[in-house]
């Protein structure tokens, strides 16, 4: 629909200038004014005439009537004036030539305008804390971050995905103390991260009884910072075990990272930034700590160094941003974290600006809301967590039960169950606006009805089934023809793919894609139920409908890839 609106805007601009020389609306002005009517019977796009009323000194309905009478365009079937709006209907010929043919020609590239070609986007997402569980709280940063990366990549950006592992800090001192006191190499090797989490939880429980444990942990981390051989060996082991566990989840989601450089990588890069802050006069001493005063910007001070001279999160983040700019020459660097960290990012972004880095405005924080299971929030220290691997396993198991009941002879049942089970969790999460808090309900996520992942994947499988049954038909031998509204309506929805992609990138909002997928599924299923497709006796109608099915499959398949969801040809 984006191309249609462009064409109409150009023709409408000329029409308005002919009506009155006082109207100086260019194509881009008209594009910004277009609206989608709430009901398709009112047109495919609408142009409001209310702003023209003051210029022409006429009532909007009169202006709309005059515009409708004088406007003509080769891409429009008809124009109507209704209550001050000019309602414009796209022609079927346009839908065939500029939507169906374009999908068939561009295939998986359809929907991209390649606006990111020549630009670099860096994405900092997922980033779990080493030796801690990969729980449902990490789902947001992981799937939102990867979806945004895929969206940018689809538009032609060169994308760099960074997993900024939380592999440094006092928590490793705690883990080292816990391992030395209660740990077993055999148990850690056998149970992996689960054992490390148990040790971490035990440490906090015991520290409530014996407060000296916290000082011991600080001492062990200090030794680690100074390169103690024993502690360094333990630390590397903890990181290795954690990564091995995380990779299993990433594989299920189809996610790969370009870099796993965590916090520890920047330990030798922070002193230069601290010195730059000091030399620029930005660093101030407050009760022994080194800070950057941000009161002028209505923010609390940004802590750079503790009293003992050790660094903090802002110090590491600033050093990491400078390294990434120097290494990747990014056009934007996107950080996907919880909304609870919004102040932190606002603070150190402002510090980067005050330091004189002219790329400060290329830093973007993408916040998201909290997620809970049955309203219960998560806390690693108490062990109150829902592990992502367990959530996926439960979803896969339940989908397997449905498949055994509905289609027991389905080939590759395990593979399909994993795709649908994991996809259902991802889709359920990404269907919501990212800033909203989410209460995850498994039953709702796994439903094959309504706005869900299984419904979308089943629709995709339906297109595959129709095309499989039509595999012997050469459906390109006839010219397409639109005979019923359902065919045109489906093409109209497919035409909006680029707008969905553009909007999702502009707002950093993957839910625009998930909701678009539901729109496509709705239009296709209405078409499927109301139209005879592969068995239609009229060869022109049959071939057109097969091509529409193939176009739907192409767009859905591409859209799935933009939200970390796998395609399922059979369910």
Residues 429 and 510: their CA atoms lie apart, in Å, by 10
247-257: pLDDT as tens digits = 999 999 999 99
- Strand duo 363-368 + 332-338: pairing: parallel
Task: Please report, for the chain, the start and end positions of each structural domain, with discontinuous segments joined by +.
Answer: 2-90, 170-242, 388-561
Sheet with 302-305, strands from edge to edge, namely: 283-286, 289-292, 302-305
Taken as a whole, the chain contains a residue count of 571
Give the Å distances, CA to CA, from 10 to 27, 71, 295, 522: 5, 11, 49, 31
Residues 400 and 396: their CA atoms lie apart, in Å, by 6
322-353: pLDDT as tens digits = 999 999 999 999 999 999 999 999 999 999 99
208-221: pLDDT as tens digits = 999 999 999 999 99
Q: Could you tell me the two tokens for 297?
A: 């910007």
3-class DSSP string for 25-50? CCHHHHHHHCECCCCHHHCCEEEECC
Count of beta carbons in the 10 Å neighbourhood of residue 197: 20
Band of residue 535 on the pLDDT scale cut at 50, 70, 90:
confident
Q: Could you tell me the two tokens for 226?
A: 């100074």
**Contact between residue 534 and residue 547 where contact means Cβ atoms under 8 Å apart:** no
Band of residue 258 on the pLDDT scale cut at 50, 70, 90:
very high
Q: Is the pLDDT of residue 379 over 60?
A: no
**Contact between residue 336 and residue 141 where contact means Cβ atoms under 8 Å apart:** yes
Residues 244 and 241: their CA atoms lie apart, in Å, by 5
Whole-model pTM? 0.92
Q: Which residues are CB-contacts of 407 (< 8 A; sequence separation ≥ 6)? A: 570, 571
**Contact between residue 483 and residue 123 where contact means Cβ atoms under 8 Å apart:** no
Residues 179 and 215: their CA atoms lie apart, in Å, by 16
**Contact between residue 510 and residue 434 where contact means Cβ atoms under 8 Å apart:** yes
Instruction: Pick 2-90's CATH classification: 3.30.565.10, 3.30.1360.70, 3.40.50.2030, 3.40.50.300.
Output: 3.30.1360.70
Residue where the block lists tokens 């389905």: 410
70-121: pLDDT as tens digits = 999 999 999 999 999 999 999 999 999 999 999 999 999 999 999 999 999 9
- Of 409, 453, 446, which is closest to residue 431 (Cα–Cα)? 453
Residues 143 and 121: their CA atoms lie apart, in Å, by 17
Q: Could you tell me the two tokens for 103?
A: 């999908």
Band of residue 380 on the pLDDT scale cut at 50, 70, 90:
very low
Residues 490 and 510: their CA atoms lie apart, in Å, by 22
430-441: pLDDT as tens digits = 999 999 998 888
Which is it for the CA torsion 532, 533, 534, 537, positive or negative?
Answer: positive
* Counts for the chain of helices (H) and strands (E), in that order: 23, 12
Q: Which residues are CB-contacts of 415 (< 8 A; sequence separation ≥ 6)? A: none
Residue 74's Cα: distance from chain center in Å?
Answer: 37
Q: Is the pLDDT of residue 166 over 70?
A: yes
Which CATH number applies to 388-561? 1.10.730.10
- Strand duo 45-48 + 158-162: pairing: unpaired
- Structure confidence at residue 381 (pLDDT): 45
- The tally of CA atoms less than 13 A away on the side-chain side of residue 316 is 18
Residue 11's Cα: distance from chain center in Å?
Answer: 36
Residues 543 and 477: their CA atoms lie apart, in Å, by 8
Q: Is the pLDDT of residue 131 over 90?
A: no
Residues 133 and 374: their CA atoms lie apart, in Å, by 20
Band of residue 392 on the pLDDT scale cut at 50, 70, 90:
very high
**Contact between residue 499 and residue 513 where contact means Cβ atoms under 8 Å apart:** no
- Of 158, 147, 155, 159, which is closest to residue 115 (Cα–Cα)? 155
């Amino acid at each position: 629909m984006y191309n249609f609106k462009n064409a109409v805007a150009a023709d409408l601009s000329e029409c308005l200038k002919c009506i009155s020389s006082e109207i100086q609306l260019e194509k881009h002005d008209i594009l910004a004014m277009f609206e989608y009517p709430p009901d398709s019977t009112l047109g495919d796009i609408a142009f409001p005439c209310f702003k023209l009323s003051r210029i022409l000194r006429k009532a909007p309905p009169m202006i709309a009537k005059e515009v409708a009478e004088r406007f003509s365009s080769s891409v429009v079937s008809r124009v109507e004036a209704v209550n001050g709006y000019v309602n414009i209907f796209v022609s079927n010929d346009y839908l065939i030539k500029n939507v169906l043919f374009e999908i068939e020609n561009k295939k998986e590239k359809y929907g991209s305008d390649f606006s990111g070609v020549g630009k670099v986007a860096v994405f900092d997402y997922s980033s779990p804390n080493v030796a801690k569980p990969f729980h449902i709280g990490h789902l947001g940063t992981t799937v939102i971050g990867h979806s945004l990366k895929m969206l940018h990549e689809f538009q032609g950006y060169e994308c760099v995905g960074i997993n900024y592992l939380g592999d440094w800090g006092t928590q490793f001192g705690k883990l080292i103390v816990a391992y030395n006191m209660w740990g077993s190499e055999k148990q850690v090797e056998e149970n992996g991260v689960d054992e490390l989490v148990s040790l971490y939880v035990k440490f906090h429980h015991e520290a409530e009884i014996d407060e000296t444990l916290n000082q011991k942990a600080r001492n062990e981390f200090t030794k680690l910072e100074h390169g103690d051989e024993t502690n360094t060996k333990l630390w590397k082991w903890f990181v290795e075990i954690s990564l091995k566990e995380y990779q299993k989840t990433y594989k299920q989601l189809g996610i790969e990272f370009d870099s796993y450089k965590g916090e520890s990588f920047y330990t030798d890069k922070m002193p230069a930034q601290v010195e730059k802050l000091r030399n620029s006069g930005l660093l101030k001493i407050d009760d022994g700590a080194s800070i950057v005063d941000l009161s002028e910007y209505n923010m609390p001070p940004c802590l750079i160094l503790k009293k003992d001279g050790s660094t903090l999160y802002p110090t590491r983040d600033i050093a990491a941003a400078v390294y990434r700019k120097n290494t990747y020459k990014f056009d934007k660097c996107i950080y996907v974290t919880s909304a609870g960290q919004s102040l932190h990012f606002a603070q150190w972004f402002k510090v980067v600006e005050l330091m004189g880095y002219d790329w400060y405005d290329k830093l973007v924080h993408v916040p998201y809301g909290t997620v809970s299971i049955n309203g219960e929030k998560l806390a690693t220290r108490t062990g109150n967590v829902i592990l992502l691997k367990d959530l996926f396993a439960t979803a896969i198991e339940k989908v397997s039960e449905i498949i055994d009941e509905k289609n027991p002879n389905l080939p590759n049942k395990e593979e399909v169950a994993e795709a649908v089970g994991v996809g259902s969790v991802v889709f359920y999460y990404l269907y919501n606006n990212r800033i909203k808090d989410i209460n995850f309900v498994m039953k709702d996520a796994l439903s094959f009805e309504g706005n869900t992942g299984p419904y979308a994947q089943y629709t995709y499988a339906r297109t595959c089934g129709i095309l499989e049954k039509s595999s012997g038909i050469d459906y390109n031998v006839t010219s397409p023809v639109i005979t019923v509204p359902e065919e045109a309506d489906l093409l109209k929805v497919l035409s909006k793919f680029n707008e969905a992609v553009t909007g999702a990138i502009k707002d950093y909002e993957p839910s625009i894609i998930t909701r678009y997928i539901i729109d496509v599924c709705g239009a296709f299923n209405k078409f499927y139920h109301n139209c005879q497709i592969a068995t239609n006796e009229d060869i022109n109608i049959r071939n057109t409908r097969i091509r529409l099915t193939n176009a739907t499959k192409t767009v859905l398949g591409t859209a799935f890839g933009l939200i970390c969801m796998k395609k399922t040809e059979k369910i």
